[in-house]
Structure 1
Amino acid sequence: MSAELRLPAESALEGRYLKDYPREAARRLEAMPAEEAAEVIAAHPLARVVPVWEQLAADVQERLLECLPEATVARLFSEMDPPLAAELLLRLEAQARTRWLARMEPAAAKLAQRLMAYPPDSAGRLMDPRVVGLRPEMTVAEALARMKGFRRTRALRELFLVDEAGRLAGRVELQDLAVALPEEILAQLSRPVTAAVLDLAPREEVVERIEQHRVPALPVVNVAGRLIGVIHQGALVAALQEEVSVDIQTMVGASKDERALSKVSFAVVKRLPWLHVNLATAFLAASVVGLFENTIAQVTALAVLMPVVAGQSGNAGGQALAVTMRGLALREISPRHLSWVVFKEVRVGLLNGLAVAATCALGVYLWSGSPGLVAVIAAAMVVSMVAAGLAGAAIPLLLTRLGQDPAQSSTIFLTAVTDVVGFLSFLGVATLFQGWLSAV
């Protein structure tokens, strides 16, 4: 490498490094002060910088916008993949968004505005609208010549064919194109399109298409069937990651719209209602304990062992919930499998409950020496773990059947069930057989 490619700010970030390792270069830039990172970006040709810029975290991009020359920022917005440019523009204040759109190349600004008009988490927001549909009657030589004018062809794995009305008509894999004779026509190389998605389809449907067909690129069509964009592999992976992360957040009562860098006020507004729901379920569990106040006062060992039953049933319910949620996410099961899945988890809970009850009984006997207390906690353990398995399987499937998001605060509802059933079974059995309990 020539000396002029090496930067005083960070010698490792030379031109070749930026070109061949954009992800690693982005991580290095993120660790640098914003002013120094801006110097690195401004010192290199845009063609080398754009792939690195697209790998930067969103908050780093926003900080760098304030440090880079306006002309550089405008060119970055113009050269970025349109979905990524639209995503970054939407994160900015309205005034800043308007200013940068005005500075961008007209064609790039038009594409970005078109994507921003789609609903969040829709296929239209994820797609690259720069897809070019080729005619089936074109020859291989004509197609290759046409490809030379494509921008960012590194993401291409296949070409899409369209009829005279622009409707999706087939696809041609690049490997077939590469070994074909120049005079062959694309119709002879055409393969059927295995999967496509409407531009207004939600992200969940995009993920479903990916999992069902394992396609390298997913064409996007409008209601008339016209090809209007394609979701490339990077966006497909991002959609899968987003789907998984949304489920993780919503299961514990956080909003799917919240991000790690969201404003405090936004996070509070989105989380607080579910925290109140959780508080209500906690009071419900506490009220169950209050019903057996006299029993606890007479046998104080019950207060020590209550968390053991509730905690164990909570873990068992969480296992059933996780397996059921994964089955729903992978489309292995649906609400019509409710009875089968619930019955399976009840049997698992029963067998696990018997095994755990035996171990727990031994420990309680060595600790208390009370056969009555051993019988109470063993019976309660089996009952609570069966109920936990039932609830862990039923809650997400019932939410799905009701047309709700199965991940939405499932753990909050599950915790309510396991706590109430755990306390009720343990203290209820203890009250019924109070005379058997030794004072411990």
Structure 2
Amino acid sequence: MPEDVAAREVLEDARALAASGEWAKLVALVTSLHPADLAELVLDLSEETRRDLLGRLPSDVVGQLFEYVEDDELRDLIRGVGVEDLPAVLEEVEDDVAADVIQQLEPAEQVETLAALDRGEEVAELMAYGDESAGGLMSRGFVALNDDITVLQAIDYLRVLRPSAERAYYLYVLDRAGRLQGVVSIRDLLVSAPETRLGEITQRDVHAVATGTDQEEAARVLQKYNLMALPVVDEDGRLEGIMTADDLIDVLQEEATEDMYRMAGVGEDERVFSPVRTSVRRRLPWMMGNVLTAFLAAVVVGLFDSALSKAAVLAYFMPVVAGMGGNAGTQTATIAVRSIALGDLDVSDVFRACRKEILVAMANGLAIGVVAALGAYIWQRNETLSLVLGCALFLNICAATLAGVLIPLGLKAVKVDPALAANIFVTAITDVMGFVFFLGIASLVISRIQ
């Protein structure tokens, strides 16, 4: 039986036991679930039932749940545990997870929870970093060794420490001041002579980021060099923590979702069943902006009312010109925004990017223009109208494609998130320029279109 089917059946049994109040059977059943599945079950329960179940589960099991819920679900889980019982649960999780949980509390509750934790000072240090910085995302779960100890001493230390597999991705080598010197692999420890100093076998070509580095940039470094973990150092080069591959996945998912929502003009934490007032407040400003750009396009159309009155057939093809230009602009803007987010495109690349995109636009514009012109001729049997439509499409696709590159780069140059407003400006340009090209050219040869 597939694992996902088996998991669903267990979840259904668990919900039935929760509904009937058979707590002993329920606890025995759910402790066999993966924490991700258990978190799904717990959040699906009513608040009262959730509290009853969490109060009967071991602290280490409850602690694992915090690693498998989204930020907007943390508060539900915290209420289920209870602020008074939260310190005991947080003793079972990594410092970075504890910091994320405590940041969801009220200020007074944060102070009380940190004071009740055995390692409250370490967690408080993580909370001092920005939420979207490498320092705010890093974990303290790493293994560090001094560069002046021997291989034999290092192996003896690891036997005593017994680090988990997740913490032993890399063994970090530090000097006496705690500054990162490099990494050493377990293989090197095994094959080196026992009396060899770690400094002699340390790989010093190590990639690290500062605690203040933006999380997206840090994740990009970890991805670029295909690392399992990325060390995070302070301004003096002292090792403060590590970012792991699961951090990378979370950051990239978060940033991609944020860009997608912003390009659509909605809040990144909005959901299908968000309150009506919240959805209206977040969407209406962008729609107002679109109203203004739509009126601008209408004004442009009004400038050519004489041509439209003489050849109403032009109105048939106006949506074609605007729509194809909008599609071309949106395609390019989406690629540009994503490339900027990944660090592949910068303001200094503007000429190279424009040169490449204009070649793409000319090829696409020519193909679309020919096809549309042929279709218009078959429909209306007017050669001049067909040529006007083809030329307008070619020009508008070229203009839209350039706008799709220049607008995101321009927004980045003035320190505005390109994902935030690129589509509004691109749409305005493609509509306005499309009508200018189509109606402008048509007005010059209107006698041959009537």
What is the TM-score with the length of structure 1 in the denominator? 0.86
Where does residue 90 of structure 2 map in the other structure? 77
Where does residue 187 of structure 1 map in the other structure? 199
Please list the CA deviations of residues 187-237 of structure 1 after superposition, one character each: whole Å capped at 9, or x if unmatched: 344212421111111123213322332221111111111111111222122
Paired residue type of 2:241: G
Q: Is the 8 A contact 1:252 1:410 kept in 2?
A: no
Q: Is the 8 A contact 1:252 1:412 kept in 2?
A: no
How far is the alpha carbon of 1:93 from its aligned partner?
3.3
Where does residue 278 of structure 1 map in the other structure? 290
User: After alignment, is 192-201 or 136-145 more displaced?
Assistant: 136-145
Paired residue type of 1:409: A
Distance 1:113 1:393, change over 3 A: same
Please list the CA deviations of residues 348-390 of structure 1 after superposition, one character each: whole Å capped at 9, or x if unmatched: 2122112112221232223323333222211211111111111
Q: How far apart, CA to CA, are the structure 1 residues paired with 2:162 and 2:241?
A: 14
Match of 1:17 among 32, 56, 62: 32
Q: How far apart, CA to CA, are the structure 2 residues paired with 1:84 and 1:342?
A: 44
Q: Within 5 Å, give how 1:190-201 maps onto structure 2.
A: 190-201=202-213
Distance 1:337 1:294, change over 3 A: same
Distance 1:73 1:259, change over 3 A: farther
Distance 1:67 1:27, change over 3 A: closer
SS of match in other structure, 1:91: coil
Where does residue 137 of structure 1 map in the other structure? 148
Paired residue type of 1:247: D
Q: How far apart, CA to CA, are the structure 1 residues paired with 2:409 and 2:379?
A: 41
Please list the CA deviations of residues 65-116 of structure 1 after superposition, one character each: whole Å capped at 9, or x if unmatched: 22335554222233222222222332333344344334x3141x32332222
Distance 1:179 1:39, change over 3 A: farther
Distance 1:79 1:91, change over 3 A: same
Match of 2:258 among 242, 246, 252: 246
Query: What RMSD over aligned residues (CA atoms) do the two structures have, in Å?
Result: 3.0
Q: Is the 8 A contact 1:131 1:228 kept in 2?
A: no
Q: Is the 8 A contact 1:207 1:236 kept in 2?
A: yes
Where does residue 313 of structure 2 map in the other structure? 301
Where does residue 63 of structure 2 map in the other structure? 50
1:327 is aligned to 2:322 = no
SS of match in other structure, 1:133: strand
Q: How far apart, CA to CA, are the structure 2 residues paired with 1:178 and 1:236?
A: 30
Q: Is the 8 A contact 2:358 2:398 kept in 1?
A: yes
Please list the CA deviations of residues 212-267 of structure 1 after superposition, one character each: whole Å capped at 9, or x if unmatched: 322211111111111111112221221222222232233334466x5549887776
Please list the CA deviations of residues 312-358 of structure 1 after superposition, one character each: whole Å capped at 9, or x if unmatched: 11111122223333433343343333222212222221221121122
Distance 1:400 1:288, change over 3 A: same
Where does residue 421 of structure 2 map in the other structure? 409
Q: Is the 8 A contact 2:66 2:97 kept in 1?
A: no
Q: Is the 8 A contact 2:83 2:109 kept in 1?
A: no
What is the TM-score with the length of structure 2 in the denominator? 0.84
Paired residue type of 1:421: M
Where does residue 318 of structure 1 map in the other structure? 330
Where does residue 246 of structure 2 map in the other structure? 234
Where does residue 337 of structure 1 map in the other structure? 349
1:157 is aligned to 2:169 = yes
1:68 is aligned to 2:81 = yes
Identity %: 33
Match of 1:121 among 128, 132, 135: 132
Q: Is the 8 A contact 1:220 1:231 kept in 2?
A: yes
Q: Within 5 Å, give how 1:328-367 maps onto structure 2.
A: 328-367=340-379
Q: Is the 8 A contact 2:131 2:137 kept in 1?
A: no
Q: How far apart, CA to CA, are the structure 2 residues paired with 1:270 and 1:250?
A: 10
Distance 1:265 1:76, change over 3 A: farther
SS of match in other structure, 1:408: helix
Q: Is the 8 A contact 1:317 1:414 kept in 2?
A: yes
Q: How far apart, CA to CA, are the structure 2 residues paired with 1:113 and 1:272?
A: 39
Distance 1:324 1:136, change over 3 A: same
Where does residue 3 of structure 1 map in the other structure? none
Please list the CA deviations of residues 15-60 of structure 1 after superposition, one character each: whole Å capped at 9, or x if unmatched: 6633xx3223333333333443444433332333322331023344
Distance 1:110 1:98, change over 3 A: same
User: After alignment, is 293-302 or 279-288 more displaced?
Assistant: 293-302
Paired residue type of 1:118: Y
Paired residue type of 2:207: A
User: After alignment, is 424-433 or 153-162 more displaced?
Assistant: 153-162
User: After alignment, is 133-142 or 408-417 more displaced?
Assistant: 133-142
Please list the CA deviations of residues 144-193 of structure 1 after superposition, one character each: whole Å capped at 9, or x if unmatched: 45444477653430121111111111112344446666655433442124
Match of 2:101 among 84, 88, 93: 88
Where does residue 21 of structure 2 map in the other structure? none
Q: Is the 8 A contact 1:15 1:44 kept in 2?
A: no
